Structure 1
């Protein structure tokens, strides 16, 4: 399971407006969908968060999918100026966790913890729980 969050999205909406924010969400969601297999499940999880359920995947395959998603979103080159002095592109942070013999809430909590840590470590990175 991957939990993804668009970095500094509130600042993006504040700077560019909600209409541009909606367009960024559409482009990011398409990049995510195009980076995974047709049998994988991609869902908007709330606000600027997305969840990806990778079916029948090894840990290595999950890491590869996460990196493909991260790179494709970066390659969209959606401009983002989240403060007066820093201009960059829209990026995402990703928390990755296996779905093992526990329930979805436990897996989601692990993925969310990894995502939170990824954001604290500088964003635009992937961390596993």
Structure 2
């Protein structure tokens, strides 16, 4: 039996600010969704990919500690990373080689204080 992730939620204290940040970095549009009185913005996802959202709730706080989310940077890790500070975030670790087989990685902090990473195979 194998287990894989199927959904992620990134906590936000200011959903609009967070939405603007991620839309600016990835040059995409997020869709608003309301479920059980909860408001969220959904990341676009394709067939066979993991979906996720920006989410705001009283018991769900942004943090630099905890699970690390790696965004697929194959289409332009350097380009995405260059947009981080302009969009209000902070680059924590510039693009660096993990191993030749695994690829490259870079870390950033979003406008809410969450730490995430970008990964590329090349």
Asked whether the two chains share a fold, i.e. TM above 0.5, the reply is no
- How does the TM-score come out when normalised to structure 2? 0.31
- How does the TM-score come out when normalised to structure 1? 0.30
Query: Quick one: higher RCO (CA 8 Å, sep 6+), 1 or 2?
Result: 1
